[in-house]
């Protein structure tokens, strides 16, 4: 597992490194939060990012949250102090673990594991949500195409669906693609569907 530690304090970063090495991780890289550090992190292709911010300013936190949005990887953030708005911003940005005043080497492994598990669970939920949205949009498209066939060809709903399905199979296309083509053609021909 490749781990990147974002930190500009050598002493604090060494605590994270010691905890990781004791837990059996050895592919560890350090990136100071300066310059084009987000691009450097992306090129390193880490599996996990640990951010040690100490006492972050609002600007520093915003920069770190850009990392979270850009990488789509598990991120654990360590801070010495925080407030509700910072915690909310971190969660909204997708930080998997936000640890306040908890930088100890014996806690690094469980926090890393928590970050990975939470990220995986969130990613799975996001994928399921995207699939559900796509299925709903496809269903609406197919229903709209059925309505056009019912109105223009005088078919009942099962027959309109069967015609769409048969056409899709005969053309080797997805049902929703045939439905979209029918909706577009009907719109172009003045069928009133759009």
Is 59 or 174 the better-scoring residue by pLDDT? 174
Is 75 or 179 the better-scoring residue by pLDDT? 179
**What is the model's pLDDT at position 175?**
97
> How many angstroms separate the CA atoms of 131 and 39, rounded?
30
Topology of the domain comprising 2-103:
Rossmann fold (3.40.50)
List, in sequence order, every residue forming a beta bridge with 28; answer none if it has no partner. 3
Kindly list the domain boundaries of the chain, sorted by start residue. 2-103, 130-188
Average pLDDT, the chain: 85
Task: Write the pLDDT tens digit of every residue in 29-75.
Answer: 988 877 778 888 888 989 998 888 766 666 666 776 777 777 788 88
Strand stretches in the chain, DSSP E: 2-6, 27-31, 48-54, 75-79, 97-100
**What is the model's pLDDT at position 130?**
94
With residue 59 as reference, give the H or E element that holds it: helix 58-71
Q: Is residue 164 scored above 50 in pLDDT? A: yes
pTM check: above 0.85: no
> How many angstroms separate the CA atoms of 152 and 98, rounded?
58
**What is the model's pLDDT at position 178?**
97
CATH number listed for the domain at residues 130-188: 1.10.10.10
Query: How many Cβ atoms from other residues are within 10 Å of residue 161's Cβ?
Result: 19
């Amino acid at each position: 597992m490749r781990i990147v530690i974002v930190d500009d304090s050598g002493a604090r970063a060494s605590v994270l490194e010691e905890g990781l090495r004791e837990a059996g991780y050895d592919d560890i890289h350090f990136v100071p939060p300066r310059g084009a550090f987000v691009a450097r992190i992306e090129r390193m292709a880490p599996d996990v990012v640990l951010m040690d911010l100490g006492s972050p300013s609002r600007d520093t936190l915003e920069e770190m949250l850009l990392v979270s949005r850009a990488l789509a990887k598990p991120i654990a953030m360590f801070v010495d102090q925080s407030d509700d708005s910072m915690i909310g911003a971190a969660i909204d940005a997708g930080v998997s673990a936000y640890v306040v005043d908890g930088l100890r080497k014996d806690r690094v492994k469980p926090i890393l594991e928590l970050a990975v598990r939470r990220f995986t669970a969130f990613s799975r939920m996001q994928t399921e949500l995207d699939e559900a949205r796509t299925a709903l949009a496809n269903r609406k498209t197919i229903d709209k195409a059925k309505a056009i066939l019912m109105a223009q060809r005088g078919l009942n709903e099962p027959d309109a669906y069967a015609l769409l399905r048969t056409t899709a199979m005969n053309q080797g296309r997805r049902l929703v693609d045939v439905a979209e083509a029918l909706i577009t053609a009907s719109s172009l021909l003045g069928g009133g569907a759009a």
